[in-house]
Amino acid sequence: MSIERTDIEQALEILGPGSRLDVLGENADLLRYAESEITAQHSERRLRVRVKVNRDGRIAGGTLETLDPEAVRILADRLNAALAELPTSDSTHGASDQPVGDGEQVPVEPAKSIVDCDPAVRHEWFSTVRDGLDPAARLGGAIRYDVLDRVVADSTGLFRSETLTKASIQAIAKQDGQSASVKLVHRDADLIPVGDIPGRLREALRPLPVREKFHGSCRVLLKPSAVNTLIATFGLWALGAQHYASGRSVLTGRLGEQVVSENLTLVDDATDAAGLLSGFDAEGNVRRRTPLIERGVLTGLVSDRRRAGLTGGIPTGHAVPDGWRFGGDPVPSHLLLDAGDATEDELLAECGSGLVVNRLDYLRVLHPKQTLVTGTTRDATYWAEDGKVVAWHPQLRFTFRMDEVLNAVRAVGAVREIGDQTFMDSVVAPSLLIEAGPLVLT
């Protein structure tokens, strides 16, 4: 842990009553490659100190890159001056003084494979993947190691800390005008099967004819990476308590109702080692296992202190950091979609004639309330006939309602993969076979 408790306590003393610190010690190491050559290496050491002061509903905040008392004092003076100019407010924006609730934070053990990593290991990973590909294939992507020291503390005595680790490798291989990709994520680098990646990419790039674009509706087999993007985007827009309460969610008013296919069970759980782990959120609330959808029925939402009323009065541990670029409302952070019992071959057989999508890219919301999105397929989009992959399908654009697609899930795969998103810590998802209808190929 790179953050000293005494420095935190000293800063809180300077900032005074109503203050909260959310401190991140970020250590990121990255290796990037393109056209089978290393193109960049990046090492970043950063201390990010987020300060929030809430006095009588008046809120001021700021960030620093240091806990040096003089710097904190200068910020405190600015915040005090700003607070003096703000009117007292009974508005609900910003955190309330509600208690964070009972419960012990789940301890998270940082992985030594990442904390103690030498840059040479990332070079070995790169060489393993590049050298395992067909010589004609060109490799691009990135390997990233993150060690994140976190502290959330406030002037009432709250103090929580943890160290999180994460390793990821993205490998995109191009050959003969086609591309395939694999992204693996884990909190322990030793548990990422890097040696399997070349084989997966070779298999994905196997020679196949290229068919013309199919037009119309067909069954679509979404592989785990594509489902990861779909579920994360749906969760971001539909499963937060603030979105629900304000009517911005398509699910507003539907707690207890069937909202998606009964084949789907979804939970947010930062304590489940199947995904990435974390013990508390940006307000210091303990992260809790939160069932969201049980066999298609909406059973829960994620909340922070402000919206704890919708989750039994106790925040579920999904407050986002102040100034977070994706907004200030609580959103899922660690989604896990239950696996089914179908093997990948069985899903393909049931797909029959249809599309196989490995990756959904640039999926963007057109209308939040309708969960209307648009995006493209990317890397290894295939056409299947009679349960066999028979051709490459050209990249295509989908525009669809996420709730309709999730209501048309015909079968769920047995194997899940961990992924991440820029707006979500981790998503664990299997393949989904979507019935013909909501996904139309134009």
Partner 1 sequence: MRDTAETVLALLPTDVQYGDIRVVRRTHEQVLVELDGPGEVGYDDSLGLGLRVLIGGQWGFAATHRLDPRGLDAVIAQAVGQARATGGGGHVNLGEPVTTRATWSSPMRIDPFEVPLSTKLDLLSATVKEASTAGPLVQQIEASIDLYRDEKVFANTEGALIEQTLTESGGGLMVNAGNGDDLQRRSFPQGVPRQIRGQRGDFATAGWEHVESLGLVENAARVASEAVALLTAPQCPDEITTLIAGGNQLAMVLHECAGHPMEADRALGTEASLAGGTYATPERRGNFRWGSPIVSAYADATIPGGLGSFGYDDEGVPAQRTQLVKDGIFLGYMSGRESSAALGDQPTGASRADGWQRLPLVRMTNICLEPGESSLEEMIAGTKRGILVDTNRGFSIDDQRMSFRFTTELGWEIRDGKLGRLLKNCSYQSVTPEFWAGLDALGGPDEWKLHGVPSCNKGEPLQVAHVGHGTVPGRFQNVQVGR
Nearest to partner 1 of 372, 390 (CB atom): 372
Q: How far is the CB of 313 from partner 1 (least distance, A)?
A: 23
Q: How far is the CB of 55 from partner 1 (least distance, A)?
A: 12
Query: 366, 374 in Cβ contact below 8 A?
Result: yes
Give residues 266-305 in contact with partner 1 (rule: CB under 8 A).
none
Stretch that binds partner 1, among 3-11, 38-46, 222-230, 292-300 (CB under 8 A): 38-46
Give residues 129-148 in contact with partner 1 (rule: CB under 8 A).
138, 140-142, 144
Q: How far is the CB of 189 from partner 1 (least distance, A)?
A: 16
Close Cβ partners of 336 (under 8 Å, ≥ 6 residues apart): 266, 267, 268, 269, 272, 274, 275, 416, 427, 428, 429
Give residues 385-414 in contact with partner 1 (rule: CB under 8 A).
395-397, 399
Q: Based on the shown chain and the rule CB under 8 A, indicate whether residue 14 belongs to the binding site for partner 1.
A: no
Site string for partner 1, 68-97 (x = CB under 8 A): ---x---x--xx-xx--xxx-x-xxxx---
Among 9, 16, 47, 202, interactor with partner 1 by CB under 8 A? 47
Q: How far is the CB of 195 from partner 1 (least distance, A)?
A: 20
Nearest to partner 1 of 43, 258 (CB atom): 43
Nearest to partner 1 of 97, 341 (CB atom): 97
Q: Based on the shown chain and the rule CB under 8 A, indicate whether residue 46 belongs to the binding site for partner 1.
A: yes
Nearest to partner 1 of 200, 378 (CB atom): 378
Alpha carbon distance 260, 48 (integer Å): 40
Distances (CA, A) of 129 to 39, 113, 120, 156, 348: 16, 19, 14, 51, 27
Give residues 221-250 in contact with partner 1 (rule: CB under 8 A).
246-248
Nearest to partner 1 of 312, 327 (CB atom): 327
Q: How far is the CB of 256 from partner 1 (least distance, A)?
A: 19
Give residues 148-207 in contact with partner 1 (rule: CB under 8 A).
170, 172, 174
Give residues 315-354 in contact with partner 1 (rule: CB under 8 A).
322-323, 325-329
Q: Based on the shown chain and the rule CB under 8 A, indicate whether residue 102 belongs to the binding site for partner 1.
A: no
